[in-house]
Amino acid sequence: KNQVEQSPQSLIILEGKNCTLQCNYTVSPFSNLRWYKQDTGRGPVSLTIMTFSENTKSNGRYTATLDADTKQSSLHITASQLSDSASYICVVSPGGGSQGNLIFGKGTKLSVKP
């Protein structure tokens, strides 16, 4: 069964610290992997998207990595800010079929404290 597992489920860090969120997937075939940020009461917003051949991609203080062999991805947040408090969702596209049938993880809820 196609699944996306994220860890930790929740995380509390102090402002200015770094953190890394993990995503493991069993989706096959694989087309691409995306990280979204979802603020409370808002829709998800894309941070990064990576295809099979990409190992790392950065977007400001966010850096995503992808190991397609081990089917693992991580999202590293550098010098966290209070506005980073949100849920971070890993999304995998199985490809080969409906473009809409993305597989979403349950998200990691990040709280950045002053």
Q: Note the residues at the interface with another protein (CB under 8 A).
A: 4, 31-32, 34, 36, 41-46, 49, 51, 89, 91, 93, 97-102, 104-107
Q: Which is nearer to another protein, 18 or 83 (CB)?
A: 83
As to burial, measured by CB atoms within 10 angstroms (0-12 exposed, 13-18 middle, 19+ buried), residue 31 is middle
- Minimum distance, C-beta of residue 98 to another protein, in the bound complex (Å): 4
Q: Which is nearer to another protein, 4 or 110 (CB)?
A: 4
Q: Which is nearer to another protein, 99 or 114 (CB)?
A: 99
Strands 32-38 and 86-93: antiparallel
d(CA 2, CA 55): 21
